[in-house]
Amino acid sequence: MAYNKKQIVGYLSGLPVILWIIVILAYSVNVPWYDDFDPFPDFLRQWISSATLTDKILLLIRPNNEHRMVIGKLVTLIYFWLTGKLNFTFLHIAGACFTMGTLYLFWLSFKESKINWWYFLPIVFLFFQLQYYLVYLWAICSLQHQPVVFFLCLSMFFLSRGRFGWAVVAAFLANYSMSNGIFVWAAGGAVLFLRSDYKKLLIWCIVGAVAIGLYFYGLTTMGNEESIEYLKKYPELSVLGFFAFLGGLFDLVPERKIEIRTALPIVMGLLLMIWVVKWLWFFMKDWVDHNLKMKLHVAKIYDRDPGNKVSRLSWFLLGVMIFLLINALIIGLLRPRFGFFVMVVSNYKLYPALFLIVTYLAYISYQPDQHKRQIMLLMATALSIFIWAISLYSYLPIISERSKYLKVNGWNQAHHAFGLGHVPFSAGAKYVDTVMQEMVNNGIYEYPEEINYIPRIIEKLQEPVRSDIRASVMMNPDNVSITEPLSHLSLGRWDGTYAFLRSEKKLYLYKMAQQKYNGRNLLKSYDKGTYVQIPLSSVEPGNYEAGILKIGGDDFDGGIIKNITIH
């Protein structure tokens, strides 16, 4: 059967979307993790017990850390009203729907331009690479970053089409998705200013000031004073952080040292910004030309006719770009004190993807030379497919290992009151255990059945481990170290090496981590062998069998390494 070029491009554009959806469905685990407890199970617990409508509204807008995630809580409530349950996989899927909506808004803006539709292909690959897995596989991030990006784009979409009222509504929704949603007001203000629409700009600023004021009412500074002091001491890290954040999609070796990881993102962020500054300068020069009657004779990047379709795309892109630059600036200023790795952390990677997308669209919508457009299409397509393919190679193993980690620690959380957040036996761990037990006892949440898979296999391991597995246990002053030198990383659903401590009454489970590769091959992340260090403070005193379990497909092996005593 013969296929024409359009069909091939169409099928090719569907590939990353389908694989992205498969990854979410395959690797989502219906358990909370770290910051999930406050805005989801604890929020539901308090919502149910609240007697008045006022109390319920206050719960909706109450901050979680430094964010008011009203949209995420509403999504949780809708599912609870429909099913009476709390399901974290649903929250992951719901968040992913916002990203699908964002893609659709880009498509609507793009298709009205005079550019051939296959120029959209790189955008799909950039949107649906796997680098931002913590956004779509971690509930709190899923319902913060993805909604705020969607409502930002929706607001700029309406604003670019002169639908001011709807743009304000969408901006409000972005504002209350998470804290960086407040930047939507600056983005929209820039669009209105450069369009010389000062009456609407005044209204926009007033409404935005009210929305931001209400957002920050009662919020703490979350230690931002320390960030300012850190900035004064290490200003160069903020500059480098700004470019590393924008170029974050070029973080192709996520398991390497941070200096190696961020070298290419910094360089690419800087190079991309050279074009972006030029593009923004064209907007500013055109404003000067129009308002101050100064003929600067610069190339137009859009037609002033408000009915022109390319003009709409330009305004849309401008608003999104302003948001992204402000967001990167704030991250660069306030986050380096937590470690420079934050500039390329997975749950921020949606923004550099958008930055690359908007930069690409800005170029092809500006460039009148068809030949140069075609060259850019070829370059962008090759680059986007390369980034997407590398994300499969470099990040899918991380996603797979994290999924196994969550399943094992879901067991520990259900049976030992720790594993999915906070130090064992701490006040935070007690809070988490109280919340989760109440959710389970009330029938609102149910731990997934898959957390019992590993324990059922371990029940069968009653003999000493074979000597050729070469597993060892070492008692250290603060931890128990279990290692084995032969295992290779596998993407299988359960494949991997697990450790356990077993007594007559207790069974503790641990996913053993793969050894990192430190050789010259930058694209190789893992070496053979696994290890785990178990803090003694996390295990109740007693006599235990320390053992190991190796799973490969339908086969398993392992056994007891040695008996140990924990005091």
pLDDT score, position 165:
96
Give the residue-averaged pLDDT of 488-505: 94
The more confident residue out of 488 and 299 is: 488
The more confident residue out of 104 and 553 is: 104
pLDDT score, position 409:
95
Residue-wise pLDDT tens digits, 159-193: 999 999 999 999 999 999 999 999 999 999 999 99
The residue count of the chain comes to 567
Question: Which element (helix H / strand E) includes 557?
Answer: strand 555-566
pTM above 0.85, yes or no: yes
Q: Is pLDDT of 303 > 50? A: no
Among the listed ranges 289-293, 361-365, 384-388, which one has the minimum average pLDDT value?
Answer: 289-293
Report the SS3 class of residue 545.
Answer: strand
Q: How confident is the model at residue 298 (pLDDT cuts 50, 70, 90)?
A: very low
Q: Is pLDDT of 136 > 60? A: yes
Name, in order, each residue with C-beta under 8 angstroms of 83's C-beta and a sequence gap of 6 or more: none
The token pair at 174 is 């972005």
Neighbours of 497 (CB within 10 A): 31
Across the chain, mean pLDDT equals 91
Q: Is pLDDT of 46 > 70? A: yes
pLDDT score, position 302:
42
Residue range(s) occupied by CATH 2.60.40 in the chain: 448-566
* Of 544, 548, 564, the residue nearest 556 (C-alpha): 548
Fold entry, domain 448-566 = Immunoglobulin-like (2.60.40)
pLDDT score, position 286:
77
Using the 8-state DSSP alphabet, how is residue 95 labeled? H
The token pair at 547 is 């053992």
Q: Is pLDDT of 110 > 60? A: yes
Q: Is pLDDT of 440 > 90? A: yes
Residue-wise pLDDT tens digits, 204-247: 999 999 999 999 887 776 666 677 787 788 888 999 999 999 99
Q: How confident is the model at residue 352 (pLDDT cuts 50, 70, 90)?
A: very high
Q: Is pLDDT of 394 > 50? A: yes
Residue-wise pLDDT tens digits, 450-474: 999 999 999 999 999 999 999 999 9
Query: Which of 202-206, 332-336, 520-524 has the largest mean confidence?
Result: 202-206
Q: Is pLDDT of 300 > 60? A: no
pLDDT score, position 275:
92
SS (H, E, C) 302-347: CCCCCCCHHHHHHHHHHHHHHHHHHHHHHHHHHCHHHCHHHHHCHH
The residue type of 503 is: S
* Of 503, 529, 533, the residue nearest 518 (C-alpha): 529
Give the residue-averaged pLDDT of 427-433: 91
